[in-house]
Structure 1
Protein backbone atom coordinates (compact mmCIF):
# COMPACT_ATOMS: atom_id res chain seq x y z
CA UNK A 1 0.00 0.00 0.00
CA UNK A 2 1.23 3.49 -0.85
CA UNK A 3 -0.10 7.02 -0.35
CA UNK A 4 0.51 9.52 -3.15
CA UNK A 5 -0.02 13.27 -2.79
CA UNK A 6 -0.65 14.92 -6.16
CA UNK A 7 -0.37 18.60 -7.03
CA UNK A 8 -2.89 20.89 -8.72
CA UNK A 9 -4.67 19.03 -11.54
CA UNK A 10 -6.93 21.90 -12.71
CA UNK A 11 -8.89 19.90 -15.22
CA UNK A 12 -5.87 18.25 -16.83
CA UNK A 13 -7.04 14.66 -16.97
CA UNK A 14 -4.45 13.37 -19.46
CA UNK A 15 -1.44 14.17 -17.25
CA UNK A 16 -3.27 12.65 -14.29
CA UNK A 17 -3.83 9.47 -16.26
CA UNK A 18 -0.15 9.37 -17.24
CA UNK A 19 0.82 9.89 -13.60
CA UNK A 20 -1.30 6.99 -12.42
CA UNK A 21 0.40 4.77 -14.99
CA UNK A 22 3.79 6.07 -13.89
CA UNK A 23 3.23 5.21 -10.23
CA UNK A 24 1.33 1.99 -11.06
CA UNK A 25 -1.57 3.21 -8.94
CA UNK A 26 -3.85 0.41 -7.72
CA UNK A 27 -7.07 1.74 -6.16
CA UNK A 28 -7.53 -1.54 -4.33
CA UNK A 29 -4.48 -0.93 -2.15
CA UNK A 30 -3.14 2.59 -2.83
CA UNK A 31 -4.55 5.99 -1.94
CA UNK A 32 -4.38 9.39 -3.63
CA UNK A 33 -4.15 12.62 -1.64
CA UNK A 34 -5.20 15.51 -3.92
CA UNK A 35 -4.05 18.95 -2.76
CA UNK A 36 -6.96 20.86 -4.27
CA UNK A 37 -7.75 22.71 -7.49
CA UNK A 38 -9.18 19.68 -9.20
CA UNK A 39 -10.90 21.89 -11.77
CA UNK A 40 -10.73 24.95 -14.00
CA UNK A 41 -8.54 26.29 -16.79
CA UNK A 42 -7.64 22.80 -18.00
CA UNK A 43 -9.76 21.11 -20.68
CA UNK A 44 -11.35 18.20 -18.77
CA UNK A 45 -12.62 19.37 -15.39
CA UNK A 46 -15.72 17.20 -15.67
CA UNK A 47 -13.72 14.07 -16.40
CA UNK A 48 -11.38 14.76 -13.47
CA UNK A 49 -14.30 15.17 -11.04
CA UNK A 50 -16.04 12.04 -12.25
CA UNK A 51 -12.86 9.99 -12.03
CA UNK A 52 -11.87 11.11 -8.53
CA UNK A 53 -15.39 10.76 -7.19
CA UNK A 54 -15.51 7.27 -8.67
CA UNK A 55 -12.42 6.24 -6.71
CA UNK A 56 -14.35 6.44 -3.45
CA UNK A 57 -12.12 5.90 -0.42
CA UNK A 58 -9.05 5.49 -2.65
CA UNK A 59 -8.96 9.29 -3.13
CA UNK A 60 -8.83 11.91 -0.37
CA UNK A 61 -9.45 15.48 -1.49
CA UNK A 62 -8.90 18.91 0.02
CA UNK A 63 -10.57 21.91 -1.55
CA UNK A 64 -8.67 24.56 -3.47
CA UNK A 65 -9.73 28.04 -4.47
CA UNK A 66 -10.82 26.92 -7.96
CA UNK A 67 -12.97 24.15 -6.49
CA UNK A 68 -14.70 26.67 -4.24
CA UNK A 69 -15.08 29.03 -7.19
CA UNK A 70 -16.96 26.29 -9.04
CA UNK A 71 -19.29 25.90 -6.07
CA UNK A 72 -19.73 29.67 -5.88
CA UNK A 73 -20.68 29.92 -9.54
CA UNK A 74 -23.09 27.02 -9.23
CA UNK A 75 -24.69 28.82 -6.25
CA UNK A 76 -25.28 31.96 -8.35
CA UNK A 77 -22.09 33.96 -7.93
CA UNK A 78 -21.36 36.01 -11.06
CA UNK A 79 -18.52 34.49 -13.05
CA UNK A 80 -15.52 36.77 -13.38
CA UNK A 81 -12.83 34.61 -14.98
CA UNK A 82 -13.03 34.76 -18.76
CA UNK A 83 -10.67 31.80 -19.07
CA UNK A 84 -12.49 29.42 -16.75
CA UNK A 85 -13.56 26.03 -18.09
CA UNK A 86 -16.37 25.20 -15.72
CA UNK A 87 -19.18 25.00 -18.27
CA UNK A 88 -18.64 21.25 -18.75
CA UNK A 89 -19.41 20.63 -15.10
CA UNK A 90 -22.23 23.16 -14.83
CA UNK A 91 -24.03 21.68 -17.86
CA UNK A 92 -23.46 18.00 -17.00
CA UNK A 93 -26.38 15.68 -16.28
CA UNK A 94 -24.69 14.62 -13.05
CA UNK A 95 -23.66 18.12 -11.95
CA UNK A 96 -25.72 18.04 -8.76
CA UNK A 97 -24.14 14.78 -7.61
CA UNK A 98 -20.64 16.04 -8.41
CA UNK A 99 -21.18 19.39 -6.69
CA UNK A 100 -22.63 17.72 -3.61
CA UNK A 101 -19.62 15.39 -3.44
CA UNK A 102 -17.28 18.37 -3.78
CA UNK A 103 -19.06 20.34 -1.07
CA UNK A 104 -18.42 17.53 1.42
CA UNK A 105 -14.63 17.66 0.92
CA UNK A 106 -12.61 19.33 3.72
CA UNK A 107 -10.13 22.20 3.61
CA UNK A 108 -7.38 20.12 5.24
CA UNK A 109 -6.50 16.57 6.20
CA UNK A 110 -3.92 15.11 8.54
CA UNK A 111 -2.12 11.86 7.74
CA UNK A 112 0.37 10.98 10.48
CA UNK A 113 2.89 13.81 10.61
CA UNK A 114 1.77 15.20 7.23
CA UNK A 115 -0.87 17.89 6.72
CA UNK A 116 -2.60 18.22 3.35
CA UNK A 117 -3.90 21.72 2.59
CA UNK A 118 -4.22 23.61 -0.69
CA UNK A 119 -2.36 26.84 0.12
CA UNK A 120 -1.08 27.10 3.68
CA UNK A 121 -1.73 27.83 7.34
CA UNK A 122 -1.46 31.10 9.19
CA UNK A 123 1.57 31.26 11.52
CA UNK A 124 -0.46 31.43 14.72
CA UNK A 125 -2.43 28.27 14.02
CA UNK A 126 -1.39 24.92 15.43
CA UNK A 127 -2.39 21.93 13.34
CA UNK A 128 -5.05 21.04 15.91
CA UNK A 129 -6.45 24.57 15.83
CA UNK A 130 -6.43 24.61 12.03
CA UNK A 131 -8.31 21.30 11.96
CA UNK A 132 -11.02 22.77 14.18
CA UNK A 133 -11.31 25.88 12.00
CA UNK A 134 -11.47 23.82 8.82
CA UNK A 135 -14.25 21.78 10.41
CA UNK A 136 -16.21 24.99 11.05
CA UNK A 137 -16.13 25.77 7.35
CA UNK A 138 -16.93 22.19 6.39
CA UNK A 139 -20.03 22.14 8.57
CA UNK A 140 -21.40 25.27 6.88
CA UNK A 141 -20.43 24.22 3.36
CA UNK A 142 -22.23 20.89 3.72
CA UNK A 143 -25.17 22.38 5.63
CA UNK A 144 -28.37 24.33 4.94
CA UNK A 145 -26.58 27.70 4.77
CA UNK A 146 -24.15 26.52 2.08
CA UNK A 147 -25.50 28.75 -0.71
CA UNK A 148 -25.57 31.84 1.51
CA UNK A 149 -22.01 31.12 2.62
CA UNK A 150 -20.76 30.71 -0.96
CA UNK A 151 -22.37 34.01 -2.00
CA UNK A 152 -20.53 35.79 0.85
CA UNK A 153 -17.19 34.10 0.30
CA UNK A 154 -15.48 36.42 -2.21
CA UNK A 155 -13.16 39.11 -0.89
CA UNK A 156 -9.80 39.74 0.76
CA UNK A 157 -11.05 41.21 4.03
CA UNK A 158 -10.48 40.73 6.86
CA UNK A 159 -6.83 40.12 6.00
CA UNK A 160 -5.82 38.55 9.32
CA UNK A 161 -7.14 36.12 11.87
CA UNK A 162 -8.70 37.06 15.17
CA UNK A 163 -10.40 34.70 17.60
CA UNK A 164 -13.14 37.30 17.91
CA UNK A 165 -14.18 37.10 14.26
CA UNK A 166 -17.73 35.92 13.67
CA UNK A 167 -20.04 35.07 10.81
CA UNK A 168 -19.00 35.28 7.18
CA UNK A 169 -15.85 37.29 8.02
CA UNK A 170 -14.60 34.47 10.24
CA UNK A 171 -15.25 31.80 7.62
CA UNK A 172 -13.78 33.92 4.82
CA UNK A 173 -10.45 34.34 6.64
CA UNK A 174 -10.21 30.60 7.25
CA UNK A 175 -10.95 29.80 3.60
CA UNK A 176 -8.62 32.49 2.25
CA UNK A 177 -5.75 31.27 4.40
CA UNK A 178 -6.16 27.61 3.54
CA UNK A 179 -6.87 28.06 -0.19
CA UNK A 180 -5.21 31.34 -1.28
CA UNK A 181 -2.32 32.15 1.08
CA UNK A 182 1.18 32.79 -0.28
CA UNK A 183 2.61 35.77 1.61
CA UNK A 184 1.93 37.13 5.07
CA UNK A 185 3.62 39.15 7.80
CA UNK A 186 5.13 37.50 10.86
CA UNK A 187 1.93 38.50 12.67
CA UNK A 188 -0.25 36.76 10.08
CA UNK A 189 -1.58 39.64 7.97
CA UNK A 190 -2.14 38.22 4.49
CA UNK A 191 -1.40 39.70 1.09
CA UNK A 192 -3.71 37.80 -1.24
CA UNK A 193 -2.90 39.71 -4.41
CA UNK A 194 0.80 38.85 -4.81
CA UNK A 195 1.44 35.73 -6.93
CA UNK A 196 5.15 35.93 -7.73
CA UNK A 197 8.09 33.85 -6.63
CA UNK A 198 9.12 33.92 -2.94
CA UNK A 199 11.98 36.37 -3.57
CA UNK A 200 9.39 38.85 -4.89
CA UNK A 201 7.55 39.09 -1.60
CA UNK A 202 5.75 42.40 -1.00
CA UNK A 203 7.40 44.75 1.48
CA UNK A 204 7.16 43.44 5.03
CA UNK A 205 5.87 40.06 3.86
CA UNK A 206 7.31 36.54 3.93
CA UNK A 207 6.31 33.30 2.29
CA UNK A 208 3.92 31.89 4.87
CA UNK A 209 6.06 28.82 5.49
CA UNK A 210 9.12 30.91 6.36
CA UNK A 211 7.55 32.85 9.21
CA UNK A 212 9.82 32.16 12.21
CA UNK A 213 8.31 29.85 14.82
CA UNK A 214 5.02 29.28 13.02
CA UNK A 215 2.98 26.92 15.16
CA UNK A 216 2.43 24.28 12.46
CA UNK A 217 6.12 23.33 12.29
CA UNK A 218 5.20 20.20 14.24
CA UNK A 219 4.10 18.66 10.93
CA UNK A 220 5.16 18.55 7.30
CA UNK A 221 2.74 20.64 5.26
CA UNK A 222 1.96 19.24 1.80
CA UNK A 223 0.40 21.94 -0.37
CA UNK A 224 -0.11 23.26 -3.88
CA UNK A 225 -1.52 26.56 -5.19
CA UNK A 226 1.77 28.38 -5.84
CA UNK A 227 2.86 27.62 -9.40
CA UNK A 228 5.53 30.35 -9.30
CA UNK A 229 7.12 28.42 -6.44
CA UNK A 230 6.89 25.15 -8.36
CA UNK A 231 7.86 21.84 -6.85
CA UNK A 232 9.74 22.79 -3.72
CA UNK A 233 10.84 20.95 -0.60
CA UNK A 234 12.40 22.09 2.66
CA UNK A 235 12.07 20.80 6.23
CA UNK A 236 8.42 21.02 7.16
CA UNK A 237 7.15 21.79 3.65
CA UNK A 238 6.50 20.00 0.38
CA UNK A 239 4.94 22.17 -2.36
CA UNK A 240 3.55 20.30 -5.36
CA UNK A 241 2.07 22.85 -7.78
CA UNK A 242 4.49 22.59 -10.68
CA UNK A 243 2.26 24.42 -13.16
CA UNK A 244 0.69 21.50 -14.98
CA UNK A 245 -2.12 23.62 -16.45
CA UNK A 246 0.43 26.20 -17.67
CA UNK A 247 2.50 23.67 -19.62
CA UNK A 248 4.66 22.63 -16.67
CA UNK A 249 4.51 19.27 -14.94
CA UNK A 250 2.19 17.31 -12.72
CA UNK A 251 3.98 16.23 -9.55
CA UNK A 252 3.26 13.38 -7.15
CA UNK A 253 4.91 12.57 -3.83
CA UNK A 254 4.87 9.12 -2.25
CA UNK A 255 4.35 9.97 1.39
CA UNK A 256 5.98 6.86 2.82
CA UNK A 257 9.47 7.64 1.46
CA UNK A 258 9.13 11.17 -0.07
CA UNK A 259 9.83 9.77 -3.56
CA UNK A 260 8.89 12.30 -6.26
CA UNK A 261 7.30 11.54 -9.64
CA UNK A 262 6.64 14.00 -12.46
CA UNK A 263 4.95 13.82 -15.86
CA UNK A 264 4.60 16.55 -18.52
CA UNK A 265 1.47 18.69 -18.45
Structure 2
Protein backbone atom coordinates (compact mmCIF):
# COMPACT_ATOMS: atom_id res chain seq x y z
CA UNK A 1 0.00 0.00 0.00
CA UNK A 2 1.18 3.50 -0.86
CA UNK A 3 0.17 6.66 0.99
CA UNK A 4 -0.09 9.80 -1.11
CA UNK A 5 -0.57 13.36 0.13
CA UNK A 6 -1.95 15.94 -2.30
CA UNK A 7 -2.11 19.70 -1.97
CA UNK A 8 -4.98 22.09 -2.61
CA UNK A 9 -7.02 20.73 -5.53
CA UNK A 10 -9.54 23.60 -5.67
CA UNK A 11 -11.66 22.07 -8.38
CA UNK A 12 -8.74 21.23 -10.69
CA UNK A 13 -10.22 17.83 -11.50
CA UNK A 14 -8.38 17.16 -14.75
CA UNK A 15 -5.04 17.80 -13.10
CA UNK A 16 -5.92 15.54 -10.17
CA UNK A 17 -6.82 12.62 -12.44
CA UNK A 18 -3.69 13.14 -14.53
CA UNK A 19 -1.55 13.30 -11.40
CA UNK A 20 -2.99 10.09 -9.95
CA UNK A 21 -2.48 8.41 -13.31
CA UNK A 22 1.23 9.24 -13.22
CA UNK A 23 1.67 7.16 -10.04
CA UNK A 24 -0.84 4.46 -11.01
CA UNK A 25 -2.95 5.23 -7.95
CA UNK A 26 -5.07 2.22 -7.02
CA UNK A 27 -7.86 2.91 -4.51
CA UNK A 28 -8.01 -0.79 -3.63
CA UNK A 29 -4.45 -0.67 -2.28
CA UNK A 30 -3.46 2.97 -1.89
CA UNK A 31 -4.64 5.91 0.18
CA UNK A 32 -5.01 9.54 -0.90
CA UNK A 33 -4.67 12.14 1.85
CA UNK A 34 -6.09 15.50 0.78
CA UNK A 35 -4.85 18.64 2.54
CA UNK A 36 -8.07 20.64 2.25
CA UNK A 37 -9.45 23.24 -0.17
CA UNK A 38 -10.93 20.60 -2.41
CA UNK A 39 -13.28 23.13 -4.01
CA UNK A 40 -13.54 26.70 -5.32
CA UNK A 41 -11.85 28.83 -7.98
CA UNK A 42 -11.05 25.89 -10.25
CA UNK A 43 -13.23 24.73 -13.17
CA UNK A 44 -14.81 21.58 -11.71
CA UNK A 45 -15.43 21.45 -7.99
CA UNK A 46 -18.40 19.13 -8.44
CA UNK A 47 -16.42 16.44 -10.28
CA UNK A 48 -13.61 16.77 -7.75
CA UNK A 49 -15.86 16.21 -4.73
CA UNK A 50 -17.83 13.41 -6.38
CA UNK A 51 -14.60 11.64 -7.30
CA UNK A 52 -13.16 11.95 -3.80
CA UNK A 53 -16.40 10.70 -2.30
CA UNK A 54 -16.36 7.73 -4.68
CA UNK A 55 -13.01 6.60 -3.25
CA UNK A 56 -14.63 5.73 0.08
CA UNK A 57 -12.17 4.83 2.79
CA UNK A 58 -9.26 5.23 0.37
CA UNK A 59 -9.47 9.02 0.71
CA UNK A 60 -8.53 10.81 3.95
CA UNK A 61 -9.32 14.50 3.66
CA UNK A 62 -9.29 17.49 5.97
CA UNK A 63 -11.32 20.67 5.61
CA UNK A 64 -9.81 23.86 4.24
CA UNK A 65 -11.13 27.40 4.40
CA UNK A 66 -12.80 27.10 0.98
CA UNK A 67 -14.53 23.88 1.98
CA UNK A 68 -15.86 25.53 5.14
CA UNK A 69 -16.97 28.56 3.15
CA UNK A 70 -18.93 26.25 0.85
CA UNK A 71 -20.72 24.81 3.87
CA UNK A 72 -21.52 28.35 5.02
CA UNK A 73 -22.88 29.20 1.56
CA UNK A 74 -25.07 26.08 1.57
CA UNK A 75 -26.35 27.04 5.03
CA UNK A 76 -27.27 30.51 3.76
CA UNK A 77 -24.78 32.42 5.89
CA UNK A 78 -22.65 33.63 2.97
CA UNK A 79 -23.32 34.50 -0.64
CA UNK A 80 -21.67 32.45 -3.33
CA UNK A 81 -18.80 34.23 -5.06
CA UNK A 82 -18.88 34.12 -8.85
CA UNK A 83 -15.13 33.54 -9.00
CA UNK A 84 -15.51 30.37 -6.92
CA UNK A 85 -17.30 28.67 -9.85
CA UNK A 86 -19.52 26.66 -7.51
CA UNK A 87 -22.80 26.94 -9.44
CA UNK A 88 -22.77 23.36 -10.83
CA UNK A 89 -22.00 21.95 -7.38
CA UNK A 90 -24.74 23.99 -5.71
CA UNK A 91 -27.21 22.84 -8.36
CA UNK A 92 -26.28 19.18 -8.00
CA UNK A 93 -29.04 16.74 -7.01
CA UNK A 94 -26.42 15.20 -4.71
CA UNK A 95 -25.89 18.42 -2.75
CA UNK A 96 -27.19 16.94 0.51
CA UNK A 97 -24.79 14.01 0.25
CA UNK A 98 -21.92 16.35 -0.54
CA UNK A 99 -22.83 18.59 2.39
CA UNK A 100 -22.98 15.68 4.81
CA UNK A 101 -19.69 14.29 3.53
CA UNK A 102 -17.94 17.62 4.02
CA UNK A 103 -19.51 18.10 7.45
CA UNK A 104 -18.11 14.74 8.57
CA UNK A 105 -14.61 15.60 7.32
CA UNK A 106 -12.20 16.49 10.16
CA UNK A 107 -9.78 19.39 10.51
CA UNK A 108 -6.88 17.19 11.56
CA UNK A 109 -5.69 13.69 10.69
CA UNK A 110 -2.87 11.52 11.98
CA UNK A 111 -1.18 8.78 10.00
CA UNK A 112 -1.67 5.50 11.94
CA UNK A 113 1.38 4.27 13.85
CA UNK A 114 3.45 7.33 12.89
CA UNK A 115 3.87 10.81 14.33
CA UNK A 116 2.65 12.33 11.07
CA UNK A 117 -0.18 14.88 10.96
CA UNK A 118 -2.07 16.72 8.25
CA UNK A 119 -4.18 19.86 8.47
CA UNK A 120 -4.95 22.52 5.91
CA UNK A 121 -2.90 25.37 7.37
CA UNK A 122 -0.74 23.80 10.11
CA UNK A 123 -0.74 23.78 13.90
CA UNK A 124 -0.92 26.85 16.11
CA UNK A 125 2.41 27.57 17.85
CA UNK A 126 0.35 28.19 21.00
CA UNK A 127 -0.83 24.56 21.04
CA UNK A 128 0.63 21.23 21.96
CA UNK A 129 -0.36 18.29 19.78
CA UNK A 130 -2.70 17.13 22.55
CA UNK A 131 -4.54 20.46 22.58
CA UNK A 132 -4.67 20.50 18.77
CA UNK A 133 -6.21 17.02 18.71
CA UNK A 134 -8.73 17.94 21.40
CA UNK A 135 -9.82 21.15 19.69
CA UNK A 136 -10.00 19.55 16.25
CA UNK A 137 -12.31 16.87 17.63
CA UNK A 138 -14.55 19.38 19.41
CA UNK A 139 -14.84 21.49 16.26
CA UNK A 140 -15.63 18.45 14.13
CA UNK A 141 -18.34 17.41 16.57
CA UNK A 142 -19.94 20.83 16.25
CA UNK A 143 -19.77 20.84 12.44
CA UNK A 144 -21.24 17.35 12.17
CA UNK A 145 -24.00 17.92 14.72
CA UNK A 146 -27.61 19.04 14.29
CA UNK A 147 -26.39 22.53 15.28
CA UNK A 148 -23.94 22.74 12.37
CA UNK A 149 -25.58 25.80 10.81
CA UNK A 150 -25.34 27.70 14.09
CA UNK A 151 -21.63 27.01 14.38
CA UNK A 152 -20.95 27.83 10.73
CA UNK A 153 -22.39 31.25 11.43
CA UNK A 154 -20.09 31.69 14.44
CA UNK A 155 -16.80 30.77 12.75
CA UNK A 156 -16.19 34.06 10.93
CA UNK A 157 -13.95 36.70 12.47
CA UNK A 158 -10.31 37.20 13.38
CA UNK A 159 -10.65 37.47 17.14
CA UNK A 160 -9.41 36.08 19.34
CA UNK A 161 -6.12 35.55 17.53
CA UNK A 162 -4.40 34.32 20.70
CA UNK A 163 -5.35 31.04 22.38
CA UNK A 164 -5.03 32.55 25.83
CA UNK A 165 -7.87 34.95 25.00
CA UNK A 166 -10.21 32.19 23.81
CA UNK A 167 -12.32 31.61 26.91
CA UNK A 168 -15.80 30.78 25.58
CA UNK A 169 -16.85 27.83 23.42
CA UNK A 170 -17.51 30.20 20.53
CA UNK A 171 -14.10 31.85 20.85
CA UNK A 172 -12.29 28.52 21.06
CA UNK A 173 -14.21 27.24 18.04
CA UNK A 174 -13.38 30.33 15.97
CA UNK A 175 -9.72 30.22 16.97
CA UNK A 176 -9.58 26.52 16.09
CA UNK A 177 -11.08 27.08 12.64
CA UNK A 178 -8.66 29.95 11.98
CA UNK A 179 -5.60 28.06 13.19
CA UNK A 180 -6.33 24.94 11.17
CA UNK A 181 -7.54 26.59 7.96
CA UNK A 182 -6.39 30.24 7.67
CA UNK A 183 -3.02 30.58 9.41
CA UNK A 184 0.21 31.35 7.57
CA UNK A 185 2.13 33.79 9.74
CA UNK A 186 2.24 34.45 13.45
CA UNK A 187 3.63 37.22 15.59
CA UNK A 188 6.57 36.38 17.83
CA UNK A 189 4.25 35.52 20.72
CA UNK A 190 2.55 32.91 18.55
CA UNK A 191 -0.66 34.88 17.99
CA UNK A 192 -2.18 34.51 14.54
CA UNK A 193 -1.93 36.98 11.66
CA UNK A 194 -4.30 36.62 8.70
CA UNK A 195 -3.42 39.16 6.02
CA UNK A 196 0.07 38.38 4.76
CA UNK A 197 0.26 35.75 2.00
CA UNK A 198 3.75 36.48 0.72
CA UNK A 199 6.69 34.07 0.90
CA UNK A 200 8.85 34.50 4.03
CA UNK A 201 11.57 36.48 2.29
CA UNK A 202 9.01 39.18 1.44
CA UNK A 203 7.14 39.26 4.76
CA UNK A 204 7.28 42.10 7.32
CA UNK A 205 9.97 41.64 9.95
CA UNK A 206 7.48 41.25 12.80
CA UNK A 207 5.92 38.15 11.24
CA UNK A 208 7.21 34.58 11.40
CA UNK A 209 5.94 31.52 9.50
CA UNK A 210 3.96 29.31 11.87
CA UNK A 211 6.26 26.34 11.28
CA UNK A 212 9.26 28.25 12.63
CA UNK A 213 7.51 28.71 15.99
CA UNK A 214 5.59 25.43 16.37
CA UNK A 215 7.38 23.26 18.96
CA UNK A 216 5.48 20.06 18.04
CA UNK A 217 7.42 19.96 14.78
CA UNK A 218 10.55 19.08 16.73
CA UNK A 219 9.11 15.60 17.28
CA UNK A 220 6.67 14.98 14.43
CA UNK A 221 6.03 15.60 10.74
CA UNK A 222 3.33 17.98 9.54
CA UNK A 223 1.81 18.15 6.07
CA UNK A 224 -0.18 21.23 5.07
CA UNK A 225 -1.52 23.21 2.13
CA UNK A 226 -3.06 26.70 2.02
CA UNK A 227 0.13 28.63 1.24
CA UNK A 228 0.68 28.65 -2.52
CA UNK A 229 3.37 31.33 -2.32
CA UNK A 230 5.73 28.83 -0.68
CA UNK A 231 5.67 26.76 -3.87
CA UNK A 232 6.44 23.64 -1.87
CA UNK A 233 9.48 25.13 -0.14
CA UNK A 234 9.53 24.99 3.65
CA UNK A 235 12.41 25.92 5.94
CA UNK A 236 11.51 23.34 8.61
CA UNK A 237 12.73 19.83 7.88
CA UNK A 238 9.62 18.24 9.39
CA UNK A 239 7.03 20.43 7.62
CA UNK A 240 5.85 19.68 4.09
CA UNK A 241 4.15 22.41 2.06
CA UNK A 242 1.79 20.85 -0.50
CA UNK A 243 -0.10 23.80 -2.02
CA UNK A 244 1.71 24.71 -5.21
CA UNK A 245 -0.97 26.88 -6.79
CA UNK A 246 -2.43 24.67 -9.49
CA UNK A 247 -5.56 26.82 -9.63
CA UNK A 248 -3.36 29.89 -10.22
CA UNK A 249 -1.60 28.30 -13.20
CA UNK A 250 1.25 26.56 -11.38
CA UNK A 251 1.00 22.83 -10.57
CA UNK A 252 -0.57 20.20 -8.35
CA UNK A 253 1.76 18.32 -6.01
CA UNK A 254 1.56 14.71 -4.81
CA UNK A 255 3.89 13.33 -2.14
CA UNK A 256 4.44 9.56 -1.88
CA UNK A 257 5.03 9.35 1.84
CA UNK A 258 6.84 6.03 2.10
CA UNK A 259 9.67 7.06 -0.21
CA UNK A 260 9.24 10.87 -0.02
CA UNK A 261 8.94 11.04 -3.81
CA UNK A 262 7.21 14.11 -5.24
CA UNK A 263 5.17 14.01 -8.45
CA UNK A 264 3.67 17.12 -10.04
CA UNK A 265 1.11 17.94 -12.68
CA UNK A 266 1.13 21.33 -14.39
CA UNK A 267 -2.10 23.28 -14.68
CA UNK A 268 -3.88 22.29 -17.86
CA UNK A 269 -6.33 25.10 -18.63
CA UNK A 270 -9.06 27.32 -17.21
CA UNK A 271 -6.51 29.02 -14.99
CA UNK A 272 -7.72 31.65 -12.54
CA UNK A 273 -6.09 34.98 -13.34
CA UNK A 274 -7.61 37.15 -10.63
CA UNK A 275 -6.72 36.16 -7.08
**Shared fold, TM over 0.5:** yes
1:54 is aligned to 54
Q: Deviations over 1:102-130 (max 9, x none)?
A: 10000010111211110011112122221
Q: Does 1:228 align with 2:233?
A: no
**1:65: how far off?**
0.3
Per-residue deviation, residues 17-73 of structure 1 (Å, max 9, x unmatched): 001100100000000000000000001000000000010000000000000000011
Match of 1:125 in 2: 127
CA deviation profile, 1:164-197 (whole Å, cap 9, x unmatched): 5212211010010110100002322111011111
Q: Distance in 2 between matches of 1:183 and 1:60?
A: 26
Q: Which residue of 2 aligns with 1:64?
A: 64
Counterpart secondary structure, 2:16: helix
Which residue in the other structure is 2:249 paired with?
A: 247
Determine helix, strand or coil for the equivalent of 1:5.
strand
Moved more, 4-13 or 161-170: 161-170
Deviation, 1:133, is: 0.8
Q: Which 10-residue stretch deviates more, 233-242 or 252-261?
A: 233-242
Residue 73 (str. 1) matches residue 73 (str. 2): yes
TM-score, normalised with respect to structure 1: 0.96
What SS does structure 1 have at the residue aligned with 2:255?
Answer: strand
CA distance in 1, matches of 2:191, 2:14: 38
Superposition pairs of residues 11-30 of structure 1, within 5 angstroms = 11-30=11-30
Residue 190 of structure 1 is aligned with which of 189, 192, 217?
Answer: 192
Please name the residue that 1:153 is paired with: 155
* 8 Å Cα contact 2:254-2:263 kept in structure 1: yes
Give the conservation status (yes or no) of the 8 Å contact 2:126–2:191: no
Query: Using the alignment, how far apart are the partners of 2:166 and 2:8 within structure 1?
Result: 33
Partner of 1:97: 97
Name the residue aligned to 2:216.
215
After the TM superposition, which of the residue ranges 34-43 and 117-126 deviates more from structure 2? 117-126
Q: Is the 8 A contact 1:11 1:40 kept in 2?
A: yes
Asked if the contact 2:80–2:86 (Cα under 8 Å) also holds between the matched residues in 1, the reply is: no
Q: Deviations over 1:241-264 (max 9, x none)?
A: 000000100000011111100011
CA distance in 2, matches of 1:107, 1:264: 27
Q: Name 1:42's counterpart in structure 2.
A: 42
Paired residue for 1:32? 32
Q: Secondary structure at the match of 1:232?
A: coil
Q: Is the 2:160–2:166 Cα contact (8 Å) retained in structure 1?
A: no
* Cα contact 2:163–2:175 (8 A) shared by 1: yes
> Which ranges of structure 1 fall in alignment gaps of 5 or more residues?
none
> 1:109 touches 1:115 (CA, 8 Å); kept in 2?
yes
| TM-score using structure 2 length | 0.93
Aligned equivalents of 2:13 and 2:78: distance in 1? Answer: 26
Alignment size in residue pairs: 264
Alpha-carbon contact 2:35-2:64 (below 8 Å) kept: yes
Whether the aligned pair in 2 keeps the contact of 1:159 and 1:189 (CA below 8 Å) is yes
In 2, Cα distance between equivalents of 1:90 and 1:164: 34
> 1:123, 1:186 within 8 Å by CA — same for their partners in 2?
no
SS in 2 for 1:27: coil
User: Partner of 1:186: helix, strand, or coil?
Assistant: coil
